[in-house]
Chains A and B, each alone.
Chain A
Amino acid sequence: MNLFTAAAYIAIVMISISILLTLIRFIKGPTLPDRVISLDVFSANLLAILAIYSVLAEEKAYLNVALIMSLIAFVGTMTFAYYLVQKRNKYKDD
């Protein structure tokens, strides 16, 4: 195990801890927007883990997966924001 591999493993461990903290916020989050942004941070963490794992496995194709995942996370966040605004307009009298 050389220096770079050790650094990559340490980085993966740190990002896993941060995924756990984000999940705690996702479970606790008092409102829906909290959960939406915690999902956003979650997907960014997954993207970083994919990038590091592509180095460890010597497989460049995982970077393509990371590219697609950043786009899909954007679509998910936009959909939730649109749903928030629409929900308020529809059930305003409640």
Chain B
Amino acid sequence: MIKDIISAIFLLGGSGFMLIASIGMLRFPDFYIRNSASTKAVVLGVLLILLGVGIHYNDTLVFLEIFAILFFIFLISPLSAHIVSRAAVISNVKFWEKTNLEELDDYVKEIRKLDQKENREQDS
């Protein structure tokens, strides 16, 4: 009974976080803000839901599988968010007008220089 209550709370909390993540995907003004919001909330939601499922099964093998899934998600999600937003910066996706871009300018200049170098090497 107590097990049921605990895992029901985990499931409802996790699905609430997923819902918050997709509302953020819909409402936020900018690609980069959307990316940050969706990544963090989705990781927490999947963590809570899988823990709820594991508590319901109460089995060692199921917990091993769940820890494998969580390991991959914790490894993958920040990586893919970083890579996609770096690709967005490189391919000139627009920022929100209120974002403070002072520190980014140097990075963008460096990327442009690297691009030119690569192009020269490819041409020659």
Q: Give residues 67-88 of B contacting A (CB, 8 Å).
A: 68-69, 72-73, 76, 79-81, 83-88
Q: How far is the CA of A84 from the CA of B16 in the complex (A)?
A: 32
Partner of A55, one of B14, B56, B79: B56
A-B contact count (CB 8 A): 165
Once the chains bind, are A4 and B14 in contact (CB under 8 Å)? no
Which of these, B21, B57, B84, contacts A80 with CB under 8 Å? B84
**Would B80 and A66 count as touching, CB distance under 8 A?**
no
Residues of chain A within 8 A of B19, CB atoms compared: 14-15, 17-18
With beta carbons under 8 angstroms apart, the residue of B4, B21, B49 that contacts A51 is B49
Cα distance, A88 to B94, chains bound together (Å) = 15
| Nearest opposing residue in chain B for A19, CB measure | B22
Whether, in the assembled complex, B96 has its beta carbon less than 8 Å from a beta carbon of chain A, the answer is no
Query: Mostly helix, strand, loop or mixed at chain A's interface?
Result: helix
Q: Which of B73, B81, B115 contacts A89 (CB 8 A)?
A: B115
Also in contact, A40 and B12, with CB within 8 A (given A22-B25, A45-B18, A81-B87): no
Min CB distance A41 to B, Å, is 5
Residue of B nearest to A42 (CB): B22
Question: In whole angstroms, how far apart are the Cα atoms of A92 and B21 in the complex?
Answer: 34
Contact B22 A45 (CB under 8 A): yes
- CB proximity to B under 8 Å, residues A6-46: 6-8, 10-12, 14-15, 17-19, 21-22, 24-25, 31, 33-34, 36-38, 40-41, 44-45
Add 9 more A-B contacts to A8-B8, A18-B18, A78-B83 (CB < 8 A): A3-B4, A15-B19, A25-B26, A37-B25, A38-B25, A45-B22, A52-B11, A60-B57, A71-B72
